[in-house]
Chains A and B, each alone.
Chain A
Amino acid sequence: MMRRVLPYVLLGVGTLVVTFPFVWMITTAFKTQTEATMSTLNLWPSVWQWRNFAETFRAAPFARYFFNSFLVAFTVTAAVIVTSLMAGYAFARLEFPGSRILFGLVLATMMIPFEVTLIPNFVLIRRLDWYNAYPALIVPWCANAFSIFLMRQAFLSLPSDYFDAAKVDGCGHLRFLARIAAPLVKPMVVTVGLFAFLGSYNSLLWPLVVTSEEAMRVVQVGLTVFSGAEGVRLHLLMCASAIVILPTVALYFAAQRYFLEGSIGAGIKG
């Protein structure tokens, strides 16, 4: 009896600890200002203040921040999926001179810490006149070595009979990739896409450095600025945090079946 119940008790206690910040965030988001900044153990708001959310959107241009974040994150996600499908396929299925050296170079970019490229990239963005413009937020993140590597692994695991059969039917590499291979590696496409979206939507340092105008802020930068300006209006800050978290959590729930499959494969091989 003890041995059957104990794991559930421990996991349950862990769940309470891990989810407590979420619960506290949501209940605080619905409190009044005095209630939120009272030193109290009372978690529940006496009256649920729904208007806090409208007030948050009035207090700072979050609608604009969200527009920027979504525009950037969706473009980056789509671009990463396309570039990694193409490059991953080339490295997995094509034979050409220098393929191993090129693949080595691609993997090498994975080991460069972003701090090293931060300042030169900033200079490059200035030179290109992309400061305070969308390309600065999007273009540098349109391809990454890890996604290419994952996609290559996925293509390697496809039986080569598929390609041979398609070739006999007169289908070249490009049509094979678009019509047959890409749909077959869908779990990996979802995984790569989700990682790309999370990475782009949650990034802070790069957008902080390449944008200065309020209209160009993404939500993460907007939220840090908001917290500096509105530190005392805790209930509004929690509202803002909740709506910033919401899209990624929703996306995770929608994609998690594929996502976990994909990341499990990435974790144990290699």
Chain B
Amino acid sequence: MKRVADSWGMLLRFPDMCLGVLDNAFDRCRIRPLKDAPIAAFLLLPALVVLGAFGLLPLGYSAYMSLFGGKWGMGDFVGLGNYAEAIGSRAFWGSFLVTAYYAAGTIPLTMAFSFTIAYLLFHVARGRSFFRTVYFLPYVTSAVAAAMVWRGIFNPQFGIVNALLTRWGIEPLDWLLEPRSILALITGREALVSVGPSLALCGVMLFEIWHGSGFMIVIFLAGLSAIPRELEEAARIDGAGPFQVVRKVTLPLLSPTIFFLAIVSVIKSFQAFNSVFALTGDGHGPLDTTQNVTVYIYSQFYEFHRWGYGTAVAALLCLAIMTLTVVQWRFVGRKVHYE
């Protein structure tokens, strides 16, 4: 009996023993100027192999590929031809415009909504964790599955939104299938048909606000809990109304959080794909009005098999993201108020 127990103990201690043996081996090959290098190499190897092979290496390869034309592979060397073609292409600039509308439409609204919810949550006594869970729920659900639900709700024939509009005596709309711009629909002037985001794109934006606000709420809550409460208290005693307290005390103190969220969400909105693709079925949307840069790259690559051209557009997108991030650091970052 004792021997059985012993061998079990041996088995359980086995991984530990292996680690010990490895530790001793690494200890023995410790050479002064290298310090912990052998063991560090062992610990870093798996991560560095993956990041190198699928992160850094493709980055260089992508720059190389973008100099070649042709389909289904590299083809002929065309120099900067792909870049020139992209800059001269209407579809390319159209997709950038869609991305710009998308960022400009979703980021401020998601922030405003998330801040309001986080602020209210922070100031209620009961049920905070319940509400926090509820508001975070859309963020953990798959964008694809949620998009299927939204397509049902906004379906022009049988969707519940149009049923509601009909009940109120309003003309039903085509929602995610509507290529006309929201400005034309609001003002009723046909001249504005292609000015501004299409109603379909606005539907995508609304979805993104719903889907992305949970993340921002959690970050805002963390930021709010780091603010000393005495400051708001003092302002209130000095006679400031609730809106004045928010504007003059809470928001300036939250500026590092807002800045962090701004940087992250600009990067994220320039890479949006899943929600656009799933909401419109193919990413293009009605008359290509929801085709953002990511969808454009995907379609050039996957539908037209133009690999070199796709990587060139991706490089331009990367450039745009980096420029925007640097601009934000330089010009907005300066106004951030750190304690």
CA distance A120 to B322 in the complex (A): 20
Instruction: Give the contact stretch, choosing among B32-40, B185-193, B194-202.
Output: B32-40
Q: Which of B16, B48, B271, B294 has the most CB of A within 10 A?
A: B48
* Min CB–CB distance B261 → chain A (angstroms): 9
The yes or no answer to A114 lying at the interface (CB within 8 A) is yes
The yes or no answer to A94 lying at the interface (CB within 8 A) is yes
Chain A minimum-CB-distance residue to B22 = A174
- B-contact bits for A192-208, CB 8 A (1 contact / 0 none): 00000010011111001
Which one of B22, B33, B121, B278 contacts A11 once the chains associate, using CB atoms below 8 Å? B121
The yes or no answer to B59 lying at the interface (CB within 8 A) is yes
The yes or no answer to A175 lying at the interface (CB within 8 A) is yes
Set of chain A residues within 8 Å of B294, measured between Cβ atoms: 115
Pairwise interchain contact A263-B218, C-beta atoms closer than 8 A: yes
Pairwise interchain contact B20-A172, C-beta atoms closer than 8 A: yes
Pairwise interchain contact B141-A142, C-beta atoms closer than 8 A: no
Pairwise interchain contact A24-B123, C-beta atoms closer than 8 A: no
Set of chain A residues within 8 Å of B157, measured between Cβ atoms: 37, 39
* Min CB–CB distance A202 → chain B (angstroms): 4
Pairwise interchain contact B43-A39, C-beta atoms closer than 8 A: no
CA distance A258 to B317 in the complex (A): 36
The yes or no answer to A28 lying at the interface (CB within 8 A) is yes
CA distance A237 to B148 in the complex (A): 7
Which one of B61, B116, B132, B257 contacts A120 once the chains associate, using CB atoms below 8 Å? B61
Set of chain A residues within 8 Å of B23, measured between Cβ atoms: 171-175
The yes or no answer to B27 lying at the interface (CB within 8 A) is yes
Q: Which of B141-195 contact A (CB under 8 A)?
A: 141-146, 148-153, 155, 157-160, 162-164, 166-167
* Min CB–CB distance B317 → chain A (angstroms): 6
Pairwise interchain contact B260-A119, C-beta atoms closer than 8 A: no
Pairwise interchain contact A123-B16, C-beta atoms closer than 8 A: no
Chain A minimum-CB-distance residue to B325 = A111
- B-contact bits for A128-141, CB 8 A (1 contact / 0 none): 00000000000110
The yes or no answer to B223 lying at the interface (CB within 8 A) is yes
Set of chain B residues within 8 Å of A157, measured between Cβ atoms: none
* Min CB–CB distance A23 → chain B (angstroms): 10
Pairwise interchain contact A41-B318, C-beta atoms closer than 8 A: no
- A-contact bits for B9-29, CB 8 A (1 contact / 0 none): 000000110011011101100
* Min CB–CB distance B279 → chain A (angstroms): 11
| Known A-B contacts A102-B48, A113-B318, A115-B314; A18 and B135 likewise in contact (beta carbons under 8 Å) | yes
Chain A minimum-CB-distance residue to B166 = A39
Q: Which of B81-121 contact A (CB under 8 A)?
A: 116-117, 120-121
Set of chain A residues within 8 Å of B116, measured between Cβ atoms: 10
Q: Which of A75-126 contact B (CB under 8 A)?
A: 82-84, 86-87, 89-90, 94-97, 99, 102, 105-106, 108-109, 111-124
* Min CB–CB distance B117 → chain A (angstroms): 6
Q: Which of A115, A139, A148, A242 has the most CB of B within 10 A?
A: A115
| Known A-B contacts A24-B152, A87-B47, A267-B222; A204 and B120 likewise in contact (beta carbons under 8 Å) | no
Set of chain B residues within 8 Å of A1, measured between Cβ atoms: none
Pairwise interchain contact B58-A175, C-beta atoms closer than 8 A: no
* Min CB–CB distance A77 → chain B (angstroms): 14
| Known A-B contacts A90-B44, A115-B317, A116-B59; A40 and B163 likewise in contact (beta carbons under 8 Å) | yes
Set of chain A residues within 8 Å of B131, measured between Cβ atoms: 11, 15
CA distance A228 to B276 in the complex (A): 15
Interface residues on B, range: 35 or more
Pairwise interchain contact A41-B167, C-beta atoms closer than 8 A: yes
Pairwise interchain contact B120-A109, C-beta atoms closer than 8 A: no
Set of chain B residues within 8 Å of A84, measured between Cβ atoms: 47
* Min CB–CB distance A232 → chain B (angstroms): 10
CA distance A18 to B141 in the complex (A): 12
Pairwise interchain contact B277-A21, C-beta atoms closer than 8 A: no
Set of chain B residues within 8 Å of A41, measured between Cβ atoms: 160, 163-164, 167
Pairwise interchain contact A244-B144, C-beta atoms closer than 8 A: yes
* Min CB–CB distance B150 → chain A (angstroms): 6
The yes or no answer to B79 lying at the interface (CB within 8 A) is no
Set of chain A residues within 8 Å of B123, measured between Cβ atoms: 7
Pairwise interchain contact A234-B152, C-beta atoms closer than 8 A: yes
* Min CB–CB distance A14 → chain B (angstroms): 6
Q: Which of B258-310 contact A (CB under 8 A)?
A: 260, 267, 270-271, 273-274, 277-278, 281, 293-294, 297-298, 301-302, 307, 310
CA distance A49 to B56 in the complex (A): 51
The yes or no answer to B251 lying at the interface (CB within 8 A) is no
Which one of A90, A118, A238, A248 contacts B148 once the chains associate, using CB atoms below 8 Å? A238
Which one of B50, B150, B223 contacts A83 once the chains associate, using CB atoms below 8 Å? B50
Pairwise interchain contact A260-B210, C-beta atoms closer than 8 A: no
The yes or no answer to A68 lying at the interface (CB within 8 A) is no
Chain A minimum-CB-distance residue to B17 = A175
Binding site for B on A (CB under 8 A): 7-8, 10-11, 14-15, 18-19, 21-22, 24-25, 28, 36-41, 43, 82-84, 86-87, 89-90, 94-97, 99, 102, 105-106, 108-109, 111-124, 139-140, 142-145, 148, 171-175, 177-179, 198, 201-205, 208-209, 219-220, 223-224, 227-228, 234, 237-238, 240-242, 244-245, 248-249, 251-253, 256, 260, 263-264, 267-268, 270
Ordered by A's residue number, 5 sampled pairs between the chains whose C-beta atoms are within 8 Å are: A123-B65, A173-B26, A224-B278, A238-B149, A268-B223
For the A-B complex with A24-B152, A224-B278 known, give 19 more contacts whose Cβ atoms are closer than 8 Å.
Answer: A21-B150, A36-B158, A87-B44, A97-B35, A112-B55, A113-B270, A115-B317, A119-B311, A139-B54, A143-B46, A175-B19, A205-B273, A209-B302, A234-B155, A245-B141, A252-B136, A263-B219, A267-B257, A268-B226
